[in-house]
Structure 1
């Protein structure tokens, strides 16, 4: 026979109301809570998420929508969010959207049917209609690693403008003036490009629009883009890539075209993933404080779910330039 909430209450020696409060993360005395948790474990009782949803109670579940879990930075975000959520007793449902607006809408609809308590939308969620619908319905939502200006949503992201500015300044200090950028079509890349342009202007250099290239989110696309830049009439001596995956592709593109890195071409990434440390040569990049960002995003979402958040915030965490062997002085 299936264990019920009544069995748990009897085993713990508490009321059914107390068991319900523990299940729904409501305030209960420490001793009573421990008795209930011990009884649930002993009886192998698992609360019905669906039953909680149907009664309008919390399901202790977060929907985490991200673009591509194959990206090392995104994979690390997924792990950090999951670990932090588990500290609060929350489960995380992770969905990869491939930055496809139809997938984004479908996953959000599905998760709302499952009555998740809130959403974390990561790294360039594109479907603005879906976001607005969540806002209109007062669903708790946090944007993670996203620079889109939703005044009615809390955002936790790295200062992409500063990261782009510091990378460009690094190359300028090394004597480079033909500095290219390989970027993706998302808000984070646009902010990094904005920082790159500002650094060039502050140094009295012109902004070479012919050296700003947009790539799809694949290594194959970035490799083709980098090869195209290298075959241009006046090729760059340095390339800033807006993430480490693009930078590895640029390294491969240089190698295929017999261009030595860093002697003939300096290349940098962004994110400081494992890829940047294990590449040949190791990549100069910008470190993104993933653990700090993910912990803050989960903390703030839980506050919203529990009705504690008062005002929306835009939290910018600071990047850190990491200099390795893929960049050197322009000769």
Structure 2
């Protein structure tokens, strides 16, 4: 059986009220008494109930983090940063990978509410907006990460996706590429990257054809499949802008399998600058999101909102940064 507060009081030779004061760091008592109670708690392996703490309004020192796919290096790297920052602040993190599935979204939100988390960080697209509206209406601190929904009235933290898409496409155009394919996700962030892609074309008086815009779910295999379908239609663009590194790696793999040389025959640029970008041969040119800075910021913001629930909500945009490596070069055609 798990030890109770009654067991601690009995073993330490003090009242239950005294143990409670030690747990909550309140009240006055001799230092020797406080230390004796702490030593007894440690000896009995007694841990105060977080649930009981939540019910008394003291909080659980726990955050909920929802991501669309923890196997995506971008989100796993982001989750690591968030967990480290939370730990530095005395908080724990419950990580939920939704697979962008409506039922999972609802299930995990309900789970986090039952756990009485002090706040939630949502980095998933979240198709079930009503569930998030319910969280916000109950006054649970909520911050959107890499996502933005003005209708929710909560703080959002993301990179300037439009600028990232514009810079990626402009780099390819500056290298002489005019036939540029973009492979995007079904997400608002990718929509903004597409707008940046289109703006770069317009600025350089280039025509952007609808057939040059492909959409898929982010994965290496889907990146391969998208490029495979393009090739089967009898054409190979000179440049490809993939809206994340996973898709870019898939394109590189498929291109090599059909005998194309990177970047001699095909220039490829990704987005995110995850660990994947340094493992490809040649190294992947990509648009970097400041993962560490964004992860630290979102923890700092939500902790601040937990302490001050009337804090003004804001839209925080980080600047993307183009990292040029070996997968882009001057166009030969």
Q: TM-score, normalised by structure 1?
A: 0.89
Match of 1:101 in 2: 102
Q: Determine if contact 1:281/1:326 at 8 Å carries over to the other structure.
A: yes
Return the offset for 1:137: 1.5
Change (3 A) 1:136 1:161: same
Match of 1:199 in 2: 200
Return the offset for 1:231: 3.4
Change (3 A) 1:329 1:5: farther
Q: Distance in 2 between matches of 1:61 and 1:135?
A: 17
Q: Distance in 2 between matches of 1:271 and 1:192?
A: 12
Return the offset for 1:182: 0.7
Match of 2:257 in 1: 256
Spell out the pairing of 1:230-249 with structure 2 (5 A cutoff).
230-249=231-250
Q: Distance in 2 between matches of 1:201 and 1:39?
A: 71
> Deviation digits for residues 169-208 of structure 1, max 9, x if unmatched?
1001000111111111011111111111111111111222
Return the offset for 1:49: 1.3
> Deviation digits for residues 106-144 of structure 1, max 9, x if unmatched?
110111112111110014233211111112222110111
Q: Distance in 1 between matches of 2:27 and 2:236?
A: 64
Spell out the pairing of 1:138-149 with structure 2 (5 A cutoff).
138-149=139-150
SS in 2 for 1:269: strand
> Deviation digits for residues 249-271 of structure 1, max 9, x if unmatched?
00111112222211111011111
Q: Distance in 2 between matches of 1:314 and 1:205?
A: 32
Q: Distance in 2 between matches of 1:12 and 1:154?
A: 46
CA RMSD, aligned part only? 2.7
For structure 2, list consecutive stretches of 5 or more residues without a partner in the other structure.
none
Match of 2:118 in 1: 117
For structure 1, list consecutive stretches of 5 or more residues without a partner in the other structure.
none
Change (3 A) 1:147 1:265: farther
Match of 1:265 in 2: 266
Return the offset for 1:21: 3.2
Return the offset for 1:151: 5.3
Q: Distance in 1 between matches of 2:27 and 2:89?
A: 14
Matched, 1:173 2:174: yes
Change (3 A) 1:45 1:251: same
Spell out the pairing of 1:290-301 with structure 2 (5 A cutoff).
290-301=291-302
Aligned length: 325
Match of 1:157 in 2: 158
SS in 2 for 1:260: coil
Change (3 A) 1:12 1:283: farther
> Deviation digits for residues 202-222 of structure 1, max 9, x if unmatched?
111122211110112332222
Name which of structure 1's ranges 61-70 and 127-136 shifts more when overlaid on structure 2: 127-136
Change (3 A) 1:255 1:115: same
